[in-house]
Amino acid sequence: MSRGNLQFTIYNLQLDKEMKKTIFLFLFLIFGFTCNPVEAADFSSYYKTIYEFDANGNSFITQEISLVNESPGLFVSEYTLSLNGSSIDKIQAYDSFGPLNVTKTVKDDTTLIKLNFNEKVVGKNKILSFILKYQTKDLAQKKGNLWEISIPKLGKSDDISTYLVVLKVPLSFGKPSYINPKPDKEEKTADFYEISFNKEKLTSMGVLATFGKWQTFSFTLEYELKNEGLDTAVGEIS
């Protein structure tokens, strides 16, 4: 799962109630996006994304999203997300009125998620907040005695006002042995290592983190040894 496409359908109430205006935003994973700068001025956005992993490497992703309306006559009608990967399931979404209607379509190696909002937020500085949750197996891999977590980078976008990523990694993975980039915050709770990154850390690179103290290797060495004499000899292998 890597790059995806996000689409908002927006209605312009000032010009024509039936007129639709669409903003396309491109994501790395589902969390960073870029869009047309003229259309981006209509909304500012705030993201908090939590990746919670279980002992088997499954990840439970929660996005808390707020869109602030910068134009008095627009509102967001729907949210469409296209992700590379077909192992995305257990999708749930909510706004302030309750569960959202969620449509999932899988074609080849792409998953399309469409949300229809219950709430129509109209007015300058009005906020539409919603939560999207889903599960995937693509972000953590067990490699020998180590666990490796890889989170793709955030696409550079000036219209994202605030963006926070939090990894919640079970203690059973072992202590962090390598994390890049350097986290903004790192703490140990009763059940997890919690590691946080802000927007600036994720625009130039993704997150690569390894957990565990040691690795086991299995290999075979072959040497050709020759004794020039008839007696037992001691040699040195370099």
Distance CA 157, CA 202 (A): 11
Amino acid symbol at 50: I
2 or 71: whose pLDDT is higher? Answer: 71
Supply the pLDDT for residue 41. 61
Total of domains in the chain? 1
Is 32 part of a structural domain of the chain?
yes
Per-residue b or e along 173-203, where b marks 16 or more CB atoms closer than 10 Å to that residue's CB: bbebeebeeebeeeeeeeebbbbbbebebbb
Is 231 part of a structural domain of the chain?
no
Distance CA 66, CA 125 (A): 11
Is 108 part of a structural domain of the chain?
yes
37 or 238: whose pLDDT is higher? Answer: 238
pLDDT of 4 strictly over 60: no
Q: What is the CATH number of the domain that holds 153?
A: 2.60.40.1730
Supply the pLDDT for residue 238. 64
pLDDT in tens, 182-201: 999 999 999 999 999 998 88
Is 65 part of a structural domain of the chain?
yes
pLDDT of 230 strictly over 80: no
Supply the pLDDT for residue 21. 35
pLDDT of 176 strictly over 50: yes
Supply the pLDDT for residue 180. 95
Domain with 24, as residue range(s), is 3-211
Query: What does pTM read for this prediction?
Result: 0.75
pLDDT in tens, 101-124: 999 999 888 888 899 999 888 888
Is 234 part of a structural domain of the chain?
no
Supply the pLDDT for residue 5. 44
Is 229 part of a structural domain of the chain?
no
Does the N-terminal peptide bond of residue 99 adopt cis geometry, omega within 30 degrees of 0?
A: no
Distance CA 8, CA 78 (A): 6
pLDDT in tens, 55-107: 999 999 999 999 888 888 888 888 877 776 778 899 999 999 999 999 999 98
Supply the pLDDT for residue 32. 33
Is 101 part of a structural domain of the chain?
yes
Is 218 part of a structural domain of the chain?
no
Query: Where residue 219 falls among pLDDT bands split at 50, 70, 90?
Result: low
Describe the strand order of the beta sheet including 146-151 as a list of residue ranges: 140-143, 146-151, 207-211, 176-180
The angle at the Cα of 16, spanning 13 to 22, to the nearest 5 degrees, equals 75
pLDDT in tens, 7-44: 444 444 433 333 333 333 333 333 333 333 335 567 78
